[in-house]
Amino acid sequence: MTSAHLNWQSQIAVMLIPTAIYGFLIFTAEFPKSANIETSTGKNIRHLFMPLYLFMIVCMTLTATTELGTQQWVGRILQESGASPMIILALGTGLMAVGRQFAGVLVHKLHTVGVLLVSAILAAAGLFLLSKATGGMVYLATIIFALGVCYFWPCMIGFTAEYLPGTGALGMSLMGGAGMFAVSIWNPIIGHWIDQHRAAAEKSGLSGSAVELAAGQATLTNMSTFPLILIVAFGILFAVRGRIKKGVHTH
Residue ranges in the chain assigned as alpha helix (H):
8-13, 16-28, 41-47, 51-64, 70-77, 85-101, 103-110, 112-130, 137-149, 152-163, 168-203, 209-223, 225-239, 241-250
Q: Is residue 13 part of a domain?
A: no
| Position 134 in a domain | yes
Task: For residue 11, tell me if it sits in a domain.
Answer: no
pLDDT in tens, 44-81: 899 899 999 999 999 999 999 999 988 877 777 777 77
Range of the domain at 161: 44-250
Residue range 89-110: mean pLDDT, rounded: 86
133-170 pLDDT, tens digit per residue, is 888 888 999 999 999 999 999 999 999 988 898 898 89
Q: How confident is the model at residue 197 (pLDDT cuts 50, 70, 90)?
A: very high
Give the CATH number of the domain where residue 165 resides: 1.20.1250.20
Q: What burial class does residue 103 get, using C-beta atoms within 10 Å of its C-beta: 0-12 exposed, 13-18 middle, 19+ buried?
A: middle
One-letter amino acid identity for 186? W
Alpha-carbon radius of gyration of the chain: 20
In a domain, residue 7? The reply is: no
Identify whether 170 is part of a domain.
Answer: yes
- Residue 213 CA to residue 207 CA, distance in Å, equals 10
